[in-house]
Amino acid sequence: MDILQILKEDYQRFPYDQTYSLYTPDVYFKDPLNEFKGVEKFKKTIGFMSTWFKNIQMDLHEIERQGNVISTEWTLHWTTPLPWQPRIAIPGRSELTLNENEQIISHIDYWHCSRLDVLKQHFFKTAKK
């Protein structure tokens, strides 16, 4: 199966049943909150999200490959378990770099909003549902 198709399916299921075999054991991961190496830490980070947040949804808007780089555009949504149940939306993009074996060696996420914007969504109605 084509790696782009596998990734599309992973986005639809996110954060559950991800295809971690696409990643090298020492994959480099970075987003506005985290930076580390290792697929096991990557699994734990996604596991934390699925345990802590509710109704997680990852909308994939675009995916394309140019050489050994896959670029995606997405919006991540979740409900934070606070008494008022704020629905959060984080638009962003990812750059995934592949090695010669078609495995992901680098996964870098960029948000199209600031960390402060995300924090504000917990207290003000700014997120789209």
The model's pLDDT over 33-51, given as tens digits with 9 standing for 90+, comes to 999 999 999 999 999 999 9
- Residue 126 pLDDT grade (very low, low, confident, very high; cuts 50, 70, 90): low
- Three-state DSSP state, 116: helix
The model's pLDDT over 46-98, given as tens digits with 9 standing for 90+, comes to 999 999 999 999 999 999 999 999 999 999 999 999 999 999 999 999 999 99
Are 118 and 111 within 8 A, CB to CB?
Answer: yes
Q: What pLDDT was estimated at residue 127?
A: 42
- Ranges of each domain in the chain: 3-121
3-121 folds as Nuclear Transport Factor 2; Chain: A, (3.10.450)
Give the chain's mean pLDDT: 94
Torsion of CA 116, 118, 123, 124, to 10 degrees: 100
For 94, phi then psi, to 5°, come to: -130, 145
**In Å, what is the CA distance from 64 to each residue of 67, 96, 120?**
10, 10, 32
